[in-house]
Structure 1
Amino acid sequence: MKSLKILLVEDETITAMDLRETLEEAGHKVTAIARNFEQAIRAAKSNPPDLALIDIHLEEGSTENGITTARELIAEHRMPIIYLTANSDVETFQLAKETLPAAYLLKPFRHDELKLQVELAYYYFHYNQKNTSGASMSGTLYLPVDKGHEKIDMNDVLYLQADGSYVKVFMIQKELPHHISTNLSHLAQYFSAPNFYRLSRSLLINLNHLERLERNHLFLINHKTPIQIPSTSRKELMKKLTIVRTK
């Protein structure tokens, strides 16, 4: 097993130190120990990890929990995620599942199990990357539509929107979207090109078709309906664009 760069997102100091010791014993390098959302994002940007180990419930009073943190980390830098939690309630698990974690471990964790899960997470992540890279590189996908598979040009995709148990795929020349029976996190892995940006939990947009940007909304070419920009996403979105600023 190669030595991995691992980001720890854990607000309990004793647990964080225990995790670090276990990972370093296995030959890995801990890039940073983040206690909250902001620290995790900064750490991932300054030293992109191969994998992130995230506590679902971060420090008391934080407005961003581990699941939100994981979602933003994946949008910034694709990598496998392993959740750690002392809470096994169904609602939390269902929310965590939408981010397609590589593993979901309950505290107190077992050291040998953690080492194995880290290795498996990294292996399967890159195995799946190889299997999906062909479609991404070619610029085409075959979507499951009407009991078959319809070929689409990924450059013609305006945006993807989560809608219950479906994802709507809006195309540039089609009035009605395709309805795909899956969740957005799963479908998003096929849209890993830099021009596709995860605007929110329910939206993935193609920046190549961004026609107009306003304070709270954006407009895509040939699409009349404005898309609301979440206040938490505006700053990161602006960094993706070349903006001419006036004095």
Structure 2
Amino acid sequence: MKSLKILIIEDELVTAHDIKETLEKAGHIIIDIARNLSAALTSVRVNTPDIILIDIHLEHSTEDGIDIAQRILALQTIPFIYLTGHSEHPTIARAQQTRPAAYLLKPFRHKELAIQVELTYHNYQVSLASSADPFLSDNLYLPVDQGKGYVKIKKSDVLYMMADRVYVEIYLAGETQKRVFSMNLGYISQFFTTANFYHLSRSLVVNLDHVERIDRGQFYVKGHEHAVSFPEANHKLFLQQFAIIKTPPKRESR
């Protein structure tokens, strides 16, 4: 097993250093111990880990481990293991929505921790090699029913995607009703890599191929009568994405 770069997100420093010592003895590298969201995001950007260990309950952070996992996944896909001393169903159900590679219930044995980390990374690499690449595929299968099933979404049919707290609303060509998925916009939008998907605001991604009309602060998409609003401050940049023909200047009468 190769030496893995590991990020630990844990605000109990005694526990964090205990984990650090265990994994370093197993030959791995702890790139950082983060205690909150800001520190975790900085670590991921500066030195991307191979795997992350995240304590769900962080006493000294305004965000819990699940919130932090969602924010990290919005940046890039990294396998992670949740560490928790709690097994309440609501917490586990919410955690499942972020699709962790594994859970470890505290207290855990040191040998078990090292084995789980190595198995998690190995299984992640195998899944990458054997699965269709969601970044390149024309279709995505998004989780429904808390991950019990998957529904097909054709990327080219997406009209626009809108954030609604921890959910994302996806509007599709040929459908009058929106589809709602339990994931954030930052996470799902990373799989829409072609130039026609434009981030019009932090909460809105639009497929430029389906835009039929643009007014100040709103636009219309094919097959939908209602306008979609966006910040007027972004109007000029939005217009630059299209081949705009401006009204010619009036000729002076002689």
Please indicate the TM-score interval, normalised by the length of the shorter structure: 0.5 to 0.7
Q: Which residue is 1:54 aligned to?
A: 54
Cα separation, 2, equivalents of 1:142 and 1:90: 25
Greater helix content: 1
After superposition, residues 18-57 of structure 1 pair within 5 angstroms as: 18-57=18-57
Q: Which residue is 2:15 aligned to?
A: 15
Cα separation, 2, equivalents of 1:7 and 1:128: 21
Counterpart residue identity of residue 100, structure 1: R
Cα separation, 1, equivalents of 2:198 and 2:95: 20
Contact 1:209 1:221 in 2 (8 A): no
Contact 1:161 1:184 in 2 (8 A): no
Name the TM-score, length of structure 1 as normaliser: 0.68
Counterpart residue identity of residue 18, structure 2: D
Query: Which of 116-125 and 97-106 deviates more?
Result: 116-125
Q: Shift of the alpha carbon at 1:204? A: 8.6
Q: Which residue is 1:159 aligned to?
A: 161
Structure (1 or 2) with the larger CA radius of gyration: 2
SS at match of 2:70: helix
Counterpart residue identity of residue 224, structure 1: A
Query: Number of residue pairs matched?
Result: 213
SS at match of 2:136: helix
What is the aligned-residue RMSD (CA, Å)? 4.2
Cα separation, 2, equivalents of 1:219 and 1:52: 41
Q: Shift of the alpha carbon at 1:194? A: 4.5
Cα separation, 2, equivalents of 1:21 and 1:52: 15
Confirm whether residue 102 of structure 1 aligns to residue 105 of structure 2.
no
Contact 2:74 2:190 in 1 (8 A): no
SS at match of 1:176: coil
Contact 1:160 1:167 in 2 (8 A): yes
Cα separation, 1, equivalents of 2:52 and 2:58: 14
5+ residue gaps, structure 2, are: 144-149, 239-254
Q: Cα distance 1:152–1:107, how it changes in 2: closer, same or farther (>3 A)?
A: closer
Counterpart residue identity of residue 75, structure 2: E
SS at match of 1:57: coil
Q: Shift of the alpha carbon at 1:118? A: 1.0
Contact 1:10 1:34 in 2 (8 A): yes
Q: Cα distance 1:140–1:99, how it changes in 2: closer, same or farther (>3 A)?
A: closer
After superposition, residues 1-247 of structure 1 pair within 5 angstroms as: 1-60=1-60, 62-134=61-133, 136-141=135-140, 153-157=154-158, 158-159=160-161, 169-171=170-172, 173-177=173-177, 184=183, 192-194=191-193, 206=205, 209=208, 222=221, 224-226=227-229
Cα separation, 1, equivalents of 2:75 and 2:139: 23
Contact 1:48 1:77 in 2 (8 A): no
5+ residue gaps, structure 1, are: 229-237, 243-247
Q: Shift of the alpha carbon at 1:8? A: 0.5
Cα separation, 2, equivalents of 1:6 and 1:114: 12
Cα separation, 2, equivalents of 1:132 and 1:226: 37
Contact 2:134 2:140 in 1 (8 A): yes
